[in-house]
């Protein structure tokens, strides 16, 4: 059985959204969970967080940013194409409770991952403030959907081309100063998540981050995704992917995520070469 | 050709050596090390067998392979027969012939072991299995006739595969669920190609597939689907959990997070399953250890596999670090011997204390300490103790930790009634492998902790035997259960008991009157199943409502009313082309015959719209008298909304508004209701969504009054339109479809009294007041009506989108708040019900109160049609003819008039 893409759309530069038929996953998915996919027979297994699922249509929605070979390959697919393997939903779902005032922060493609949790927090009766961060206006994704899933939305851009100029943590600091914040969820690049953790640490605000470590099986079998959480070794695939931001060793996470940088660059270069050759032929 | 060589002679024949690929050559590639016996080697070896009367080899085998029988067949050169003989007990001979620790099992127990060298049973097994595979003539054993029982097996490793083979032969339907994308479990992700070529695993799996075993990859049981779901919704009668070794253990020494430190599981999975050794042809990356130093920590087969793999990947130096001595190493002897030949360095009695690294986080070496063996520990093995001051560093760029695994908790954590050990392995009876959960068995590494392939296979076979016995018992119990005994006037009668898919039990009394002369007495049919139906399931206690297996919550949040119509009538959700075609037909049949418009003129303006609706639907049969049921269903679904809207227009004296084909089903209805020739009516998304919701929520509710009426009328052979028209009349009554109308009337009463909602709530609590709050609680749903929860949100959405200032709705919200917070209501579970919210939403939409039942009928239409179709399509349908208990006068004779008068006077 393969997994068919029924819809594909472009969300931004190198960012695509796919609706994929995966009925078993669609039935069980909860916000915060991910799938592991393998595109074709010689492909690698990579984790992707599920943005949404529709159990009636039997589909899940993934948002993919082309950064390496596999994600570039994925983003060259369209409706009607198939993916060889999709397994999930994996990882623990986000803990949805009545926290009170919540701030959900999405950086770059992390926005797609934060969206379902924001929606669930909002549905559970929380007051949800969303902060989206991007380098520049064109890189902002899913603004409308986040706006619908939250009570208020702030957009921060590094160059001030849209929303306010500044970092997501600038806005977060203002929000904390104005009003008590009970819960923060930050998903995005590691430096952003680390900065958010530092911003909320002193005030002891419950802060969760979703860790994108390198995985193979996604079921706890290989231990490749191990991270240091409060001096203990945890597996992001089964104990996470969400962890208390104040206990995460971001340095080790960043170092481990760089483990295959050379091979990744080599694979991407040869893929670009090959696709260019195809285009020229 | 029987073996005529005397035993004494046989003992003198040397054990035939296994031809091996030269160490120099093989240590740089992934080709299989052992080359296998040829015919001569096989025959010469087979001739050594003493064919003991009491075969200790078979006794020593976890799956009891009939060794002397298959060896005798090799001597007779019947290799296929030999393979078939092994397959009677072992479904994976090509695999076990390669990876079993024979020296501890069959060969260890061989009589010759004590005097000379044992018979090479493993090599012989491999020889016949390879012969069989190469000829392509795999002897597939015959399966027993189907039992109708279904077994789910979790994990496609050795335990799962052997259980699958045995169970499918017993006639059970077997489906194996695998978490990874490839079948074989540890056989494909753990054991390297040079020891067990993956093609062999694939062909063994193919044999099972030919035997009828079904496989599904990419299913993580515990995550993708739970044990309870497999035993419940998916209908499996028994399960075997064989998920294997779980989470890799680490040493717990500093530096284990450095880049270049792998668990053996990860290292081997990247190489074996993901073919990372063929990067960049395969995409999965792996640390490039060409020309680097590698250290592997551990002494088992996994450690051996890892260190030999590292060598093959081009490591300059590969060192094995083990804290005890070589004697204690749990690895297979052959593997240790191969590793040594290939150039692996052994650092025995050595234990790592730290993994050193550079500033960038990469590994530079392993700091170790020398050990000596001290006192025996709990397990009887001498415990290694560190020698103080003996620390030294082994340089390494890659460190692989192969010190065992701990239990993976995915299944245990989602199966609360599954008992586990202190270390979180699954508890199972050692003999039957039965767990604490009925029908669930477990075996292999998930029960025992890390062990061997053949032990797991042995567990698989024991589980298969126990599962087969369990299923046989269950069938017998089922037969006993399937009768009810009725004791009537001193005589016993057997009545069959039947069970629905959700476990409801029914006593089949169809033969009651014939057998006993008695009938059942059940006025109002509250205890009578008038039919079996596969359309709607309700569990009032748990607040469950499902159409065709889909939860109402799912449908409400994801489907349109048209999709639900299709689902109810056809039994499955439409594919996109099916939906488009269905929707198109509904659109094209929405006009009614122009002559029918005249009927409306005949009604007085005050006519109840239900009177018009029922007459018009019955009249449709006059226009479409053919028996094209399929088309008539479309006509009815489509025209009913037109009739409903026209009846409203008639009642307020406005001209009829024709349907428009560019509008959706629900939009079209609202358009016909509220547009006028002078002005269009725009349906807002919130209203459209709410109307869809309301119709979906009312679409079916199994055998209620109106639905039973439809079935009753249809059972006489009356046409679709006549049957549905009767259903409309049944719904008309205030006890059935009129409830939401009563809610609005009550709200009006509260409003007009000017006393405020709280006064009425207090009166409702006072039993003597005679006042009852309408729209709270439900006869079937004792908990919370799942539909009400959905509607509450829709009501909020509609009210906020319309920004209405209808005083009645303000009263409704007050009442809702009081009821939701008042302990009196909470304790009695008197929540606002579907009628309460639907009344409010209809009111907000501008639909007048007397149209509420019509809206209900529009929603219920697909349900009635589905039930009608189910009845008509069923060959066993008979005309409905209930009995009665006659309680009138017994026989009396007719008297002359004057006498009768005299009596009465």
B818-839 tens-digit pLDDT? 888 888 887 877 778 888 888 8
For residues B341-359, give the mean pLDDT: 94
Contact present, A168 and A42 (Cβ < 8 Å): no
When scoring A5, A53, A56, A88 by the number of chain B Cβ atoms within 10 A, the one with the most, hence best to mutate, is A56
A277: tokens are 């050759």
On average, the pLDDT of chain B sits at 89
Percent of chain B exceeding pLDDT 90 equals: 50
Percent of chain B exceeding pLDDT 70 equals: 97
Determine, for residues B285 and A260 on separate chains, whether the beta-carbon distance falls below 8 Å: yes
Confidence band, pLDDT 50/70/90 cuts, at residue B1: low
For residues B359-367, give the mean pLDDT: 93
Least reliable range by pLDDT among B182-191, B599-608, B796-805: B796-805
- List chain B residues with CB under 8 Å of A55: 554, 558
On the question of pLDDT at A241 being above 60, the answer is yes
Least reliable range by pLDDT among B210-219, B345-354, B404-413: B404-413
pLDDT reported for residue B902: 61
On average, the pLDDT of chain A sits at 92
pLDDT reported for residue A29: 93
pLDDT in tens, B640-698: 999 999 999 988 889 999 999 889 999 999 999 999 999 999 888 888 988 999 999 99
pLDDT reported for residue B578: 86
Confidence band, pLDDT 50/70/90 cuts, at residue B864: very high
Q: Residue A42 is nearest to which of B179, B269, B283, comparing CB atoms?
A: B283
For residues A269-278, give the mean pLDDT: 82
Confidence band, pLDDT 50/70/90 cuts, at residue B309: very high
Q: What are phi and psi of B140, to 5 degrees?
A: -85, 120
Q: How far apart are the first and last CA of chain A?
A: 32
**Distances from the Cα of B246 to the Cα of A218, A240, B218, B422, angstroms:** 12, 17, 17, 15
Three-state secondary structure call for residue B651: helix
Determine, for residues A263 and B563 on separate chains, whether the beta-carbon distance falls below 8 Å: no
Determine, for residues B257 and A88 on separate chains, whether the beta-carbon distance falls below 8 Å: no
B591: tokens are 């006009």
B636: tokens are 């009815």
pLDDT in tens, B250-308: 999 999 999 999 999 999 999 999 988 888 888 999 988 889 999 999 999 999 999 99
pLDDT reported for residue B898: 62
pLDDT reported for residue B901: 62
For residues A185-192, give the mean pLDDT: 95
On the question of pLDDT at B903 being above 60, the answer is no
Contact present, B414 and B61 (Cβ < 8 Å): no
- List chain B residues with CB under 8 Å of A213: none
Q: How far apart are CA A148 and CA A104, in angstroms?
A: 13
B423: tokens are 């270390």
pLDDT reported for residue B897: 62
For residues B702-722, give the mean pLDDT: 94
Percent of chain A exceeding pLDDT 70 equals: 98
When scoring B257, B289, B579 by the number of chain A Cβ atoms within 10 A, the one with the most, hence best to mutate, is B257
Contact present, B31 and B21 (Cβ < 8 Å): yes
- List chain A residues with CB under 8 Å of B219: 24, 87
Of B613, B877, B850, nearest to B744 (Cα)? B850
pLDDT reported for residue B31: 87
Q: How far apart are CA B156 and CA B183, in angstroms?
A: 6
pLDDT reported for residue B728: 95
Q: How far apart are CA B64 and CA A42, in angstroms?
A: 39
Nearest residue of B to residue A59, measured between CA atoms? B558
Contact present, A55 and A25 (Cβ < 8 Å): no
For residues B34-61, give the mean pLDDT: 90
For residues B217-232, give the mean pLDDT: 93
For residues B421-427, give the mean pLDDT: 88
Nearest residue of B to residue A263, measured between CA atoms? B285
pLDDT reported for residue B303: 95
pLDDT in tens, B722-742: 999 999 999 998 888 777 788
Q: Residue B283 is nearest to which of A44, A221, A256, comparing CB atoms?
A: A44
Number of other CB atoms surrounding residue A128 within 10 Å:
26
Three-state secondary structure call for residue B902: helix
pLDDT reported for residue B676: 93
pLDDT: is B540 or A49 the higher one?
A49
Confidence band, pLDDT 50/70/90 cuts, at residue A281: low
Q: Which of B778, B785, B873, B875 is catalytic?
A: B778
Please indicate whether residue B778 is annotated as part of the active site. Answer: yes
pLDDT reported for residue B2: 73
On the question of pLDDT at B224 being above 60, the answer is yes
pLDDT: is B803 or B287 the higher one?
B287
How close B331 gets to chain A, by Cα (Å)? Answer: 21
Which residues, in sequence order, are CB contacts of B98 under 8 Å at separation 6+? B34, B122, B126, B195, B196, B200
How close B288 gets to chain A, by Cα (Å)? Answer: 9
pLDDT reported for residue A254: 93
pLDDT reported for residue A279: 63
Contact present, B365 and B356 (Cβ < 8 Å): yes
Q: How far apart are CA B883 and CA B885, in angstroms?
A: 7
pLDDT reported for residue B261: 95
Determine, for residues A56 and B550 on separate chains, whether the beta-carbon distance falls below 8 Å: yes
């Amino acid at each position: 059985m393969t997994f068919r893409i029924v819809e594909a759309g472009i969300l931004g530069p190198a960012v695509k959204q796919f609706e994929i038929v995966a009925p078993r996953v669609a039935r069980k998915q909860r916000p915060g969970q991910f799938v592991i996919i393998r595109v074709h027979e010689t492909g690698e297994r990579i984790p992707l967080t599920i943005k949404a699922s529709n159990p009636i249509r039997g589909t899940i929605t993934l948002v993919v940013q082309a950064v390496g070979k596999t994600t570039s390959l994925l983003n060259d697919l369209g409706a009607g194409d198939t993916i060889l393997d999709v397994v999930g939903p994996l990882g623990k779902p986000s803990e949805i409770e009545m926290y009170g005032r919540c701030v959900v922060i999405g950086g770059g493609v992390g926005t797609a991952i934060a969206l379902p949790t924001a929606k669930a927090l909002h549905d559970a009766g929380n007051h949800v403030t969303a902060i989206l961060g991007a380098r520049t206006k064109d890189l902002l994704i899913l603004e409308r959907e986040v706006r619908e899933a939250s009570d208020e939305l702030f957009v921060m851009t590094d160059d001030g081309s849209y929303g306010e100029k500044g970092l997501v943590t600038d806005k977060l600091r203002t929000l904390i100063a104005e009003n008590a914040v009970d819960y923060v969820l930050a998903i995005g690049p590691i430096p952003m998540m680390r900065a958010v953790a530092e911003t909320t640490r002193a005030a002891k605000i419950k802060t969760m981050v979703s860790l994108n470590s390198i995985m193979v099986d996604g079921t706890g079998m290989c231990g490749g995704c191990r991270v240091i959480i409060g001096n203990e070794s945890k597996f992001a695939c089964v104990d996470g992917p969400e962890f208390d931001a104040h206990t995460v060793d971001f340095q080790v996470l960043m170092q481990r995520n760089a483990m295959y940088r050379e091979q990744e660059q080599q694979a991407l270069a040869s893929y670009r070469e090959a696709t260019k050759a195809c285009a020229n032929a | 050709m029987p073996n005529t060589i005397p035993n004494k002679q046989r003992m003198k024949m040397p054990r035939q050596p296994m031809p091996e690929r030269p160490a120099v050559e093989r240590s740089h590639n992934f080709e299989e090390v052992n080359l296998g016996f040829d015919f001569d080697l096989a025959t010469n070896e087979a001739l050594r067998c003493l064919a003991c009367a009491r075969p200790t080899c078979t006794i020593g085998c976890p799956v009891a392979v009939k060794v002397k029988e298959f060896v005798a067949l090799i001597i007779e050169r019947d290799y296929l027969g030999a393979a078939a003989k092994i397959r009677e007990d072992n479904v994976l001979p090509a695999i076990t012939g390669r990876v079993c620790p024979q020296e501890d099992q069959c060969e260890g127990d061989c009589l010759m072991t004590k005097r000379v060298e044992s018979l090479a049973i493993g090599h012989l097994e491999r020889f016949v299995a390879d012969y069989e595979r190469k000829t392509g003539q795999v002897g597939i054993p015959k399966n027993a006739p189907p039992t109708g029982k279904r077994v789910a097996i979790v994990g496609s490793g050795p335990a799962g595969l052997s259980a699958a083979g045995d169970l499918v032969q017993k006639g059970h339907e077997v489906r194996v669920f695998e978490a990874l994308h490839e079948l074989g479990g540890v056989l494909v992700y753990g054991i390297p190609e040079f020891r067990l070529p993956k093609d062999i695993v694939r062909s063994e799996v193919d044999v099972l597939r030919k035997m009828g075993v079904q496989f599904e990859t990419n299913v993580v049981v515990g995550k993708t689907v739970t044990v309870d779901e497999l035993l419940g919704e998916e209908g499996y009668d028994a399960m075997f959990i064989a998920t294997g070794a779980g989470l890799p253990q680490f040493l717990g020494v500093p530096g284990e997070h450095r880049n270049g430190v792998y668990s053996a599981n990860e290292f081997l999975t990247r190489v074996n399953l993901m073919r990372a050794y063929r990067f960049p042809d395969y995409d999965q990356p792996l640390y490039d250890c060409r020309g680097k130093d590698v250290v592997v920590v551990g002494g088992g087969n996994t450690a051996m596999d890892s260190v030999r793999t590292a060598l093959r990947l081009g490591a300059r130096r590969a060192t094995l670090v083990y804290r005890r001595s070589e004697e204690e190493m749990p690895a297979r002897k052959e593997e240790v011997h191969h590793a040594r030949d290939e150039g692996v360095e052994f650092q025995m009695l050595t234990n790592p204390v730290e993994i050193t690294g550079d500033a960038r986080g990469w590994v530079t070496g392993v700091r170790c300490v020398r050990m000596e063996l001290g006192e025996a520990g709990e397990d009887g093995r001498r415990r290694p103790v560190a020698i103080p001051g003996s620390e030294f560093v082994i340089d390494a760029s890659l460190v692989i930790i192969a010190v065992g695994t701990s239990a993976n908790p995915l299944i245990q954590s989602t199966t609360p009634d599954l008992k586990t050990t202190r270390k979180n392995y699954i508890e199972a009876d050692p003999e039957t492998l039965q767990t604490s959960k009925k029908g669930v068995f477990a075996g292999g590494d998930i029960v025992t902790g890390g062990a061997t392939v053949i032990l797991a296979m042995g567990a698989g076979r024991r589980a298969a035997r126990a599962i087969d016995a369990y299923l046989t018992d269950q069938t017998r119990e089922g037969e006993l259960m399937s009768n009810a005994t009725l004791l009537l006037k001193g005589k016993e009668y057997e009545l069959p008991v039947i069970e629905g898919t959700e476990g409801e039990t029914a006593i089949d009394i169809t033969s009651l009157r014939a057998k006993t002369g008695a009938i059942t007495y059940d006025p109002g049919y509250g205890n009578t199943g008038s039919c079996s139906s596969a359309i709607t399931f309700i569990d009032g206690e748990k607040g469950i409502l499902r159409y065709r297996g889909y939860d109402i919550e799912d449908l409400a949040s994801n489907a349109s009313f048209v999709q639900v119509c299709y689902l109810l009538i056809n039994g499955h959700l439409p594919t996109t082309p099916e939906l488009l075609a269905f929707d198109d037909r509904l659109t094209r049949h929405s006009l009614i015959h122009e002559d029918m418009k005249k009927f409306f003129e005949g009604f007085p303006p005050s006519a109840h719209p239900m009177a018009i609706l029922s007459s018009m639907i019955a009249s449709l049969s006059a226009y479409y008298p053919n028996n094209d049921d399929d088309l008539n269903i479309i006509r009815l679904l489509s025209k009913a909304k037109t009739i409903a809207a026209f009846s409203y227009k008639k009642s307020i004296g406005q001209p009829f508004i024709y349907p428009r084909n560019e509008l959706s089903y629900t939009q079209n209805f609202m358009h016909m209701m509220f547009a006028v020739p002078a002005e269009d009516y725009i349906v807002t998304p919130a209203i459209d969504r709410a109307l869809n919701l309301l119709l979906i929520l009312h679409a079916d509710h199994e055998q209620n009054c109106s639905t039973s009426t439809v079935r009753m009328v249809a059972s006489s052979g009356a046409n679709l339109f006549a049957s549905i028209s009767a259903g409309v009349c049944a719904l008309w009554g205030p006890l059935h479809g009129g409830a939401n109308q009563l809610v609005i009337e009550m709200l009006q009463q509260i409003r007009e009294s000017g006393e405020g909602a709280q006064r009425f709530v207090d009166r409702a609590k006072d039993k003597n007041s005679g006042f009852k709050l309408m729209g709270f609680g439900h006869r079937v749903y004792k908990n919370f009506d799942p539909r009400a929860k959905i509607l509450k949100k829709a009501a909020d959405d509609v009210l906020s989108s319309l920004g209405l200032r209808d005083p009645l709705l303000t009263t409704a919200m007050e009442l809702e708040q009081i009821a939701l917070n008042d302990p009196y209501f909470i304790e009695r579970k008197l929540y606002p019900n579907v009628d309460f919210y639907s009344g409010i939403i209809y009111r907000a939409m501008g639909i007048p109160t007397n149209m509420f039942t019509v809206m209900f009928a529009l929603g219920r239409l697909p349900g009635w049609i589905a039930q009608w179709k189910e009845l008509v399509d069923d060959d066993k349908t008979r005309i409905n003819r209930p009995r009665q208990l006659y309680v009138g006068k017994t026989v009396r004779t007719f008297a002359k008039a004057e006498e009768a008068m005299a009596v009465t006077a």
